[in-house]
Amino acid sequence: MSGRHPAPVRPRWRTREHIRTWAALAPSLLLVGVLFGGAVVQTILRSAGLLGTGAGGTFSLAAYRTLLTDPVVGRSLVLTAAVAVIATAVSVVLGIAAALLLHRLGRGRKLATTLFQLNLPIPHVIGAVAILALLGQSGLLSRIGAQTGVVDGPAAFPAITFDPWAIGVIVQYVWKEVPFIGIVALAILAARGDELDDAARTLGATRWQRLRHVTLPLLLPGVLSAAVIVFAFTFGAFEVPLLLGPTSPTLLPVLAHRRYIDTDLAARPEAMAISVVLTVVVIAVVLISAAVARRSIRSEAA
Distance CA 127, CA 175 (A): 9
How many other C-beta atoms lie within 10 A of the C-beta of residue 253? 22
> Is 205 in contact with 224 (CB distance < 8 Å)?
no
Residue at 293 is within a domain: yes
Cα–Cα nearest to 94, from 12, 30, 176, 154: 176
Residue at 131 is within a domain: yes
Residue at 209 is within a domain: yes
> Is 275 in contact with 80 (CB distance < 8 Å)?
no
Distance CA 253, CA 256 (A): 5
Residues in contact with 284: Cβ distance below 8 Å, sequence separation at least 6, in sequence order: none
The one-letter amino acid at 210: R
- What pLDDT does 88 receive? 95
Distance CA 38, CA 60 (A): 20
> Is 178 in contact with 230 (CB distance < 8 Å)?
no
Q: What is the pTM of this model?
A: 0.82
Coil/strand/helix, residue 186: helix
Residues in contact with 302: Cβ distance below 8 Å, sequence separation at least 6, in sequence order: none
Distance CA 80, CA 231 (A): 11
Residue at 217 is within a domain: yes
Domain count for the chain: 1
Distance CA 201, CA 204 (A): 5
Residue at 140 is within a domain: yes
Residue at 45 is within a domain: no
Residue at 52 is within a domain: no
CATH of the domain at 98: 1.10.3720.10
pLDDT under 70: residue ranges of the chain: 1-14, 52-57, 296-297, 299-302
- What pLDDT does 98 receive? 92
Coil/strand/helix, residue 136: coil
Range of the domain at 162: 67-301
- What pLDDT does 1 receive? 45
Residue at 269 is within a domain: yes
CA 8 to chain centre: 39
Cα–Cα nearest to 227, from 286, 270, 169: 286
> Is 284 in contact with 276 (CB distance < 8 Å)?
no
